[in-house]
């Protein structure tokens, strides 16, 4: 009998098969879970985690505030210089008759428009600043960081004038001094706002969102 069992062989028991199958299934599940974690997916739903594929938000935010700080500082320093050295004097020609430095106090919006709505423009600038800061939490695009930084720096520059310059808080007149021939007088903050706005239009035209995704209409 022993000799017959040796020749034929002892069959595997059902319990052994079950244990081997369970072990293999557990190993495969662990490998799948590891692959899912590396790919940035949710193991329960299989949905992709957007943040896993959008690194560098901190760098984009740093770019935004660096651009804003540079634009703001440039605007503030230029206004201090022209007020101290040029205000109350005859315009200075820079490029013949095409460009002059002519200091004026503007109670209106950019490029001297809307002088009767100083307080409203001040509130709008404050709202824009808050919206940009809140939007920074979802920012993953470098071009959008530059565009929003220009807007933020320009808005802060003109809002600083409206708060701290006469005749009063939120009613202060903005210092303008760049005077092209046949055009309104403006300042560097206005230029930053316009450049940031143009860049946003271009980015939107190409379907690039602030979160870094690209969509096609």
CA 170 to CA 164: how far, in whole Å?
Answer: 8
C-alpha 97/C-alpha 148 separation (Å) is 34
Q: Is residue 9 very low, low, confident or very high in pLDDT (cuts 50, 70, 90)?
A: very low
- Residue 154: band (very low, low, confident or very high) from pLDDT cuts 50, 70, 90: very high
**211 pLDDT band (50/70/90 cuts)?**
confident
- Provide the percentage of residues in the chain whose pLDDT is more than 70: 69
Residue-wise pLDDT tens digits, 28-80 = 444 444 444 444 444 444 444 444 445 567 899 999 999 999 999 999 999 99
Q: How confident is the model at residue 2 (pLDDT cuts 50, 70, 90)?
A: very low
Query: CA-based angle 12:18:19, to the nearest 5?
Result: 95
Q: What is the mean pLDDT of the chain?
A: 78
Residues 113-126: pLDDT tens digits?
Answer: 555 556 777 788 88
Contact status, residue 64 vs residue 145, Cβ threshold 8 Å: yes
Q: What is the mean pLDDT of residues 89-102?
A: 91
- Report which of 81, 110, 85 is spatially closest to residue 189, judged by C-alpha positions: 110
User: Higher pLDDT residue, 217 or 162?
Assistant: 162
Give residue 1's pLDDT.
Answer: 45
Reported confidence tier of residue 108, pLDDT bands at 50, 70, 90: low
- Residues with active-site annotation: 176, 190
Q: Span 163-169, mean pLDDT? A: 87
């Amino acid at each position: 009998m022993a000799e017959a069992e040796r020749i034929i062989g002892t069959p595997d028991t059902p319990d052994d098969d079950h244990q081997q199958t369970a072990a293999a299934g557990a190993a495969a599940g662990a490998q799948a879970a590891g692959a899912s974690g590396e790919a940035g997916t949710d193991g329960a739903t299989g949905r992709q985690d957007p943040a896993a594929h959008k690194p560098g938000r901190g760098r984009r935010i740093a770019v935004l505030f660096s651009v804003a700080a540079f634009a703001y500082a440039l605007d503030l320093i230029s206004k201090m210089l022209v007020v101290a050295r040029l205000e109350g004097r005859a315009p200075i020609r820079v490029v013949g008759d095409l460009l002059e430095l002519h200091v004026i106090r503007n109670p209106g919006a950019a490029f001297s428009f809307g002088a009767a709505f100083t307080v409203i423009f001040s509130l709008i600038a404050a709202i824009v600043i808050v919206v940009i800061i809140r939007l920074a939490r979802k920012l993953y695009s470098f071009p959008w960081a530059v565009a929003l930084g220009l807007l933020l720096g320009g808005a802060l520059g003109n809002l600083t004038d409206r708060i701290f310059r006469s005749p009063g808080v939120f009613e202060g007149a903005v210092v303008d001094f760049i005077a092209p021939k046949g055009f309104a007088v403006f300042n560097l903050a206005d230029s930053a706002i316009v450049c940031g706005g143009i860049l946003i239009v271009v980015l939107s035209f190409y379907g690039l969102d602030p979160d870094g995704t690209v969509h096609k209409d």
